[in-house]
Amino acid sequence: MNAAVLAVLAAAGAVVPAPARDLVVDPQGSIRSVATALTLAAPGDRIIVRPGVYREPRLVIDKRIELIGEGDAVLDGGGTHEVLTVRADSVIIRGLTIRNVGTSYTEDRAGIRLDQVNGCVVENNRLEDTFFGIYVAKSTNCRITGNRLEGTGTSEVRSGNGIHLWYSSAIHVERNEIHGHRDGIYLEFSEGAEILRNLSSRNIRYGLHFMFSNGCRYVNNSFIANGAGVAVMYSRDVTIKGNRFEQSTGAAAYGLLLKDLGGSVIEANRFADNTVGIFAEGTTRSMFRRNVFSGNGWAVRLMGDATDNRFERNRFERNTFDVATNSFTHSTVFAGNQWDRYEGYDLNRDGRGDVPFHPVRLFAFFVEQYEPSLILLRSPFVQLLELAERAFPVLTPPALADASPVVGTSR
């Protein structure tokens, strides 16, 4: 609101709001702590924090302000308490380094907490050793963008999550880098979230973990070298598109674990160098298309209770097992996928094989029933059995055959 408008309002007897101010926090200035600046600030003011290390008590923002860090402005929690708690709408936090929250076994301390707010922005901050990084609780329409979160957890019980959403809606999480936390990004009872272009790597458990969160979109993220990969549970109408799921290895590791997921789309993702690319249990009415499965132990492990799904136009290459299952009967359909192990022919040259491809190797079916038999994987006896099964496929699940496999490089 410019000066001329304010003058007109004042002349008319209207209540005129005070103009917004910049309050500067400087170790050598008149305001030397953020706590003091918050006490002095009015709604609409901007607090600028100059370079320096500020060891503050727990800071509570309960009015609409901007808190902006310049240069290397550090808020240090001293390892004993949460650093910033936001309880007002439309607050902006930008450009700060927040560190040293400290582990707690009795409370979920965070570097930044958004508590029952709307329309807040947390962007371009750096969070170091913060137990929980950014914790969003019962909030709506907030943006978490461009932050870098570096956790130092050594075990699941001694670390919190990087970006944690709980009972929130329409939260936008984009271009963040999260490392060294329990779960990189965690959602529970949070609907309509958009998780875009984040890098979540080297986290102790999951790169992304969400439960009971419907209508969310996960697009163009990279989940790399996390302990157990990514887990998507008890949700519906989820879009998982254009992501990288890579280098999740171990006895209980997956690129993507799907449990009780319904009516969702998993499209154009890359699953590479994982123990298991996708593990699907209780997943129904979902579409898997245009994904690449490369160099995994198991590309897809499809449990018998995963029903009425469809796999089409996917590419399978250099996987030890393309598809494995624990059931002989299935309602899931494979159609028009590309398999590097397909040895059929295409006489009419339409780009589709003239004989079906059975992606479930006989030995893979045995391994699902008795996992220690995996030690025989390279034995001549197993190779002989699978040669016989390819000639006369009677033991592997017939319902999982791809009746029109892609031939060559077309998809």
Phi, psi for 134 (deg, rounded to 5): -115, 120
| Cα–Cα distances in angstroms (integers) from residue 336 to residues 114, 125, 267, 390, 405, in the given order | 46, 45, 15, 19, 5
Work out the average pLDDT over 262-283: 97
- 29 and 168 share a domain? yes
Q: Are residues 135 and 254 in the same domain?
A: no
What pLDDT score does 153 carry? 80
Residue 263 shares a structural domain with residue 208: no
pLDDT band at 185 (very low <50, low <70, confident <90, very high): very high
C-alpha to C-alpha distance for 392 and 323, rounded to whole angstroms: 19
Same-domain pairing of 163 and 269: no
Cα–Cα distance for residue pair 62/91, rounded to 1 Å = 9
Query: Same domain for 50 and 107?
Result: yes
One domain for residues 209 and 338: no
Mean pLDDT across 266-291: 97
- Please determine, for residue 396, whether its predicted confidence score (pLDDT) is greater than 70: no
pLDDT of residue 399: 73
In a domain, 411, yes or no: yes
According to the model, what pLDDT value does residue 411 have? 46
The tens digit of pLDDT for each residue in 51-104 reads: 999 999 999 999 999 999 999 999 999 988 999 999 999 999 999 999 999 888
Check whether 131 has a pLDDT greater than 80.
yes
Domain boundary among 193, 227, 261: 227
* Size of the chain, expressed as the number of residues it contains: 411
Find the domain containing 411 and state its range: 250-411
Q: Rounded to the nearest 5°, which phi and psi values hold at 310?
A: -140, 130
- pLDDT category of residue 230 using cuts at 50, 70 and 90: very high
Q: Same domain for 194 and 257?
A: no
User: 387 vs 248, 303, 331, 366, CA distance in Å?
Assistant: 31, 25, 26, 15
As a whole-number percent, the residues of the chain with pLDDT over 90 amount to 71
Write the pLDDT tens digit of every residue in 98-121: 999 988 877 899 999 999 999 999
Q: State pTM to two decimals.
A: 0.89
117 with 24, same domain: the answer is yes
Choose among 239, 137, 231: nearest CA to 190.
137
User: Nearest-CA neighbor of 202 among 218, 219, 182, 174?
Assistant: 182
Mean pLDDT for the chain overall: 90
Shared domain for 145 and 290, answered yes or no, is no
Do 68 and 149 lie in one domain? The reply is yes
Q: What letter represents residue 200's amino acid? A: S
Model pLDDT, residue 203: 97
Give the CATH number of the domain where residue 144 resides.
2.160.20.10
**pLDDT, tens only, 197-221:** 999 999 999 999 999 999 999 999 9
Lowest-confidence region among 3-12, 190-199, 218-227, 333-342:
3-12
Q: pLDDT band for position 349 (50/70/90)?
A: confident
Same domain, 38 and 135: yes
In this prediction, residue 20 carries a pLDDT of 86
